[in-house]
Amino acid sequence: MKLFIALFSGILFGIGLIVSQMVNPNKIFNFLDITGDWDPSLALVMGSALLLFIPVYQILKKMLKQPLFANEFSLPLKTLIDRPLIIGAGLFGIGWGISGICPGPAIVNVSAGDPKIIAFIFAMVLGMYISNYVNIALSKPKD
Amino acid sequence: MTQLTILDSILGGLVLSISALFMLFGIGKLSGISGIFYNLKNIKSPSEYWRGLFILGLVISPFFAHFLGFSLPSSIDVSWSAIIIGGLLVGIGTRVGSGCTSGHGICGIGRLSVRSLVATIIFMSTAVITVFIVNNLLSSTV
């Protein structure tokens, strides 16, 4: 059942990315181009997602002590706004702005077989491994 | 040029949200795609099989979307240099910053995490600045 839910959620998430056109880099570029011919569509994507997620999360969190098909919720424990968060998010934004692609849409686009998507995923995996060295550098205390 | 797509955007957002809620309250996992993808390297352990199934779902989702009348973009209009540099930075940034658009932007803000709100404001800002620079200062070369 756990695995079925993971598969179903993945399919549904992919459909959401396709319906909202998050999978189209041009749509991302025009959303980010606020001083040009701005296309605000993706603000509606995030807005409608959050408008549903925030209240339903609050309600279900109070109703359910644990997930329906698992023993516990795996939630991040970090609450600190630290240097890695700021630097990492900044770098991710630059990469997203350059390519118009973020991880979900890259994976959803794989089946079209475009070599650029495959190359993007290879570069992303390489970047993920390089990140270990960035993390080590950032974790060296200055004081 | 792309046009404002009001209904598809709202519908897509709701579907993303339902998927993330389903996964969180079904099996207790957040739909942070960069993290799920990176940790596929631990897939040998049965407790991690869900990662493979979620990613598989993403990969096959276009076939289901096709039946609903939605399709992938016919081509990726991005230069090779932008693909490689962008991919590297997305890889580094999502690991160092613990998340991407899905993990911070939807699940994180959705749980009212200040950390994710800050991350989302930062990556949206640097992305907007990057597009501005590319369009206005580099457009003759890229």
How far is the C-alpha of A85 from the C-alpha of A81, rounded, in Å? 6
Task: Express each pLDDT in A17-58 by its tens digit.
Answer: 999 999 999 999 999 999 988 999 999 999 999 999 999 999
Using the beta-carbon criterion (under 8 Å), do A52 and B18 form an inter-chain contact? yes
Using the beta-carbon criterion (under 8 Å), do A10 and B27 form an inter-chain contact? no
Same domain, A1 and A71: yes
Contact residues on chain B for A49, CB-CB shorter than 8 A: 13-14, 16-17, 20, 106, 110
Give the number of residues written for chain B: 142
Place of tokens 């090779």: B80
- Boundary residue ending a domain (A53, A75, A97): A75
Using the beta-carbon criterion (under 8 Å), do B23 and A6 form an inter-chain contact? yes
Q: Residue B140: is its pLDDT beyond 80?
A: no
| % of chain B at pLDDT higher than 70 | 96
Nearest Cβ partner of A123 from B20, B71, B88? B88
CB contact, 8 Å: A122 with chain B? yes
The yes/no answer to whether this complex scores an ipTM above 0.85 is yes
Same domain, A86 and A63: no
CB contact, 8 Å: B35 with chain A? no
Binned at pLDDT 50, 70 and 90, residue A137 comes out as: confident
Using the beta-carbon criterion (under 8 Å), do A92 and B93 form an inter-chain contact? yes
Same domain, A40 and A106: no
DSSP result, B44-93: TSGGGHHHHHHHHHHHHHHHHHHHTT----SS----HHHHHHHHHHHHHH
Q: Residue B122: is its pLDDT beyond 70?
A: yes
Query: So what's the pLDDT on residue B137?
Result: 84
Nearest Cβ partner of A107 from B18, B37, B94? B37
How far is the C-alpha of B137 from the C-alpha of B91, rounded, in Å? 25
Mutate which: B72, B81, B114, B132, vs A, most A CBs within 10 A:
B72
Vertex A6 angle, CA A135 and B119, to 5°: 35
User: Region A104-122: what's the mean pLDDT?
Assistant: 97
Query: So what's the pLDDT on residue A142?
Result: 56
Same domain, A11 and A68: yes
User: Region B21-30: what's the mean pLDDT?
Assistant: 96
Same domain, A86 and A140: yes
CB contact, 8 Å: A97 with chain B? yes
Same domain, A48 and A86: no
Distance from CA of A143 to the nearest CA of B (A): 21
How far is the C-alpha of B18 from the C-alpha of B23, rounded, in Å? 9
Q: Please state, rounded to an integer, the average pLDDT across all residues of chain A.
A: 94
How far is the C-alpha of A131 from the C-alpha of B90, rounded, in Å? 10
CB contact, 8 Å: A38 with chain B? no
Q: What is the largest CA-CA distance in chain A?
A: 50
How far is the C-alpha of B26 from the C-alpha of A22, rounded, in Å? 25
Query: So what's the pLDDT on residue B111?
Result: 96
Q: Where are the domains of chain B?
A: 6-136
How far is the C-alpha of B16 from the C-alpha of A19, rounded, in Å? 10
Query: So what's the pLDDT on residue B142?
Result: 47
User: Region A65-94: what's the mean pLDDT?
Assistant: 94
Same domain, A128 and A87: yes
* B 44-103 residues inside an 8 A Cβ radius of A: 49-51, 53-65, 68, 70-73, 75-78, 80, 82-98, 100-102
Q: Residue B141: is its pLDDT beyond 60?
A: no
Nearest to A1 by CA among B23, B30, B33: B23
Structure tokens at A85: 């968060």
Comparing A52-56, A68-72, A137-141, B35-39, the range with the smallest average pLDDT is: A137-141
Cα distances (Å, whole numbers) of residue B79 to A114, A120, A130, A142, B15: 13, 11, 23, 39, 30
Q: Please state, rounded to an integer, the average pLDDT across all residues of chain B.
A: 94
Using the beta-carbon criterion (under 8 Å), do B76 and A10 form an inter-chain contact? no
Query: So what's the pLDDT on residue A138?
Result: 83
| % of chain A at pLDDT higher than 70 | 97
Range of the domain at A93: 77-143
Domain count, chain A: 2
